Structure 1
Amino acid sequence: LRSSAEAAECMKKLRQILRYTGSCDGDMEKGSLRCDANVSVRLKGSNTFGTRCEIKNLNSIRYIVQAIDYEIQRQIEILESGEEISQDTLLFDVASGKTKVMRSKEDASD
């Protein structure tokens, strides 16, 4: 997937399938279904994949889009300033519209 819109469409389709099969009611707000999004960007023209950050426990399609869009922009700003992105597990704060570090994965072997 290459955008927040594609991620949202994928999640909508998955939720539709789960509801149709009776596997799950797909109620994200009640916690029946959650989404973790892995986001990485790379410099234009680069063939090297970027450092992945994982946003945990997104509980609505709207927040999936907002969190991914914010994280893409955050990572672009880091790379454009010449800094490196650290591999982190993030939470999305809906009040601020920003991701926050939950824990660093730099030393983790997941």
Structure 2
Amino acid sequence: MDGTGELFAAFASIMEREFDTLIITYPPNIPLSYTALESLVRESLPTDRPFVLLGESFSGPIAISLSARQLPRQVGLVLCSTFARNPRPIFSHLSFLLGALPASGCA
């Protein structure tokens, strides 16, 4: 998971031949919750034209959550190498410990 969009460069260059393509990247040095990431993505989505939302890896749950809100201009959802629920629920009760991790090494 990198969240930088670098892994999509080749894919985007091909897609841009036929479609307007926007890769929404996450801040690399700031740990954000899914709620904060969802807000960041929602604010970046087109409001003036139809769009298809692609959620890959850890962005899948964000794409699913946004799609469940029935965004006005969204016409499709593509999920790639992702999950719809926590793949390791046994560890979810430890999530409060994430705030203790240093964020400086996230780049």
Please give the TM-score of this superposition, normalised by the length of structure 1. Answer: 0.28
**More strand by percentage:** 1
**More helix by percentage:** 2
